[in-house]
Structure 1
Amino acid sequence: MLVLLPPSETKSPDGDGPPLDLTTLSTPDLTPVRAQLVEALIRLAADPPAARAALGLSPARDVELARNAALCTSPTKPAVERYTGVLYDALDVRTLTRAQRARADRRLAVGSALFGLARATDAIPAYRLSAGSALPGLPTLRALWRPVLAPVLAASGELVVDLRSGAYQALAPVPGAVTVDVLSERPDGSRTVVSHANKAHKGRVARLLATTTAEPDDVVRVRALLRRAGLHVEHDGATALTLVLPAA
């Protein structure tokens, strides 16, 4: 099972790993696009006004430009520890047992605008690039990633549970992937999309899937696993699951 996580805009700035070496990352088929984007971000960082415009940053966030400028020299850390924020707080890999972490390292990957796909153990630096960014002189990220990333994901041979946001799913859709939507149900039975807490609940789902000793190989077994954990999960008969939560 491969659990695809969305990245986060916020990232841990530290690390004690060696500088980025693209040849050591998983999925070497993605190396040429990764190298093209790394080079483009470093070059762009030398022109702060253009970089701010391309990345949607204010001058107050120039620290992000400095991180991009240092992509090839700054320390790295495992991808699953690099990203921070609500989803990753709920995933909370630092509290996993050794056996749980080994399973999580095998199963978790992050959909990344810069790296395409970063497996949990891939050593990456802090950076700033979002799925909707448009880099000067380059095609859209969707045009760059889809031809190389979509075949990689389609040929993984694993059940894919895709928890990425829509923008990252668009970079490389995965036909037949299990998806999870989060809805809030009011006492009158009406439902609304969960906004802020959506990431936290997906983080909890990711933790369950990453650490289970079971090996679910289809959507029915994923649903059963989540239900055994006490979650109210509905299945529409295809590969979409809906996590229903009582309204706060």
Structure 2
Amino acid sequence: MRKELVDELVELAADPAASRSALGLSAAQDAEIARNAALWTSPTMPALHRYTGVLYDALDAGSLRGAGAARARERLAVGSALFGLLRADDPVPAYRLSAGSALPSGGTLASRWKPVLEPELGAVAATDLVVDLRSGSYASLGRVPGAVTVTVLAERPDGSRSVVSHFNKAHKGRLARVLATTRAEPRDAAGVAAIARRAGMRVERKADALEIVLPA
């Protein structure tokens, strides 16, 4: 599947207009198309350092040292529209493809990845606790049975709550850092919640779902 998708992106890059349409790019972002054209030969870096954004800023993997860094490399995995799922140290080239992209070959990326990913994720979940911090579009690439899921809520003075949108990634990144570096080995959602609370986060548990609650 990875090879098929890389080949499709390289071929698509030969048509800038089609690439812009499929990948949701403007003409000012044609450098992203050039990256896709060079996918087979461009240099790589570890997945944990390749990806950027609000969650990765809060995770701040580059600042980890010693045993904490080693635990993070062992525990963290990265969801990817192009590669499905990556270990922290897997070498990744620069590219542009999101889970919501619509490639000309047809079908959603979720419909293509699910048959490949879900058996693998199910095997992992059968023996290890998984805390799934992926956004909805990336979680749809392959569901993890029994995974602990996390929602970030803002609580108003009157007690009402609403789902936090953009900044939920920052708090999920913070939780990822805490879980990646702790010496504890949680076995269920209650254990994850306890670790988060010790780190100063307000967390409530509902079965296998956790809610991080913030003041509005």
- 1:117-153: per-residue Cα shift (whole Å, max 9, x none)? 0110000011110111111124321121000101101
Match of 1:211 among 181, 184, 191: 181
Consecutive unaligned residues in structure 1, runs of 5 or more: 1-32
Q: Tell me what 1:89 maps to.
A: 57
Q: What does residue 220 of structure 1 align with?
A: 190
Alpha-carbon distance in structure 2 between the residues aligned to 1:54 and 1:214: 43
5 Å matches for 1:58-137? 58-137=26-105
- Distance in 2 (CA, whole Å) between partners of 1:61 and 1:151 is 36
Aligned residue-pair number: 214
What whole-Å deviation, never above 9, does each CA across 1:217-238 have from its counterpart, x for those lacking one? Answer: 11111111111111110011x2
Distance in structure 2 (CA, Å) of the matches to 1:196 and 1:38: 29
Give the drift of 1:241. 0.3
Work out the CA distance in 1 between the residues paired with 2:200 and 2:25: 41
Encode CA deviations 1:8-51: one digit per residue, 9 max, x unaligned.
Answer: xxxxxxxxxxxxxxxxxxxxxxxxx0000000000000011111
Give the CA deviation at 1:196: 2.2
Matches within 5 A, 1:46-65: 46-65=14-33
C-alpha RMSD over aligned residues: 0.9
SS in 2 for 1:214: coil
Tell me the alpha carbon deviations over residues 43-101 of structure 1, each in whole angstroms, 9 at most, x when there is no partner: 00001111111111111110110110011111100000001111111100111112111
Structure 2 residue 142 is matched with structure 1 residue 172? yes
- Deviation (angstroms), 1:163: 0.3
Structure number with greater CO (CA < 8 Å, separation at least 6) is 1
Alpha-carbon distance in 2 for matches of 1:146, 1:131: 12
What residue identity is the alignment partner of 1:167?
A: S
Q: Percent identity?
A: 67
- Say which of 126, 131, 150 aligns to 1:161: 131
User: Which stretches of structure 1, 4 residues or longer, exceed 3 Å deviation after superposition?
Assistant: none
Shift of 1:246: 1.0
Gaps of 5+ in 2: none
Q: What does residue 41 of structure 1 align with?
A: 9
Question: SS of the residue aligned with 1:196?
Answer: coil
Partner of 1:235: 205
The equivalent of 2:151 in structure 1 is 181
TM-score by length of 2: 0.97
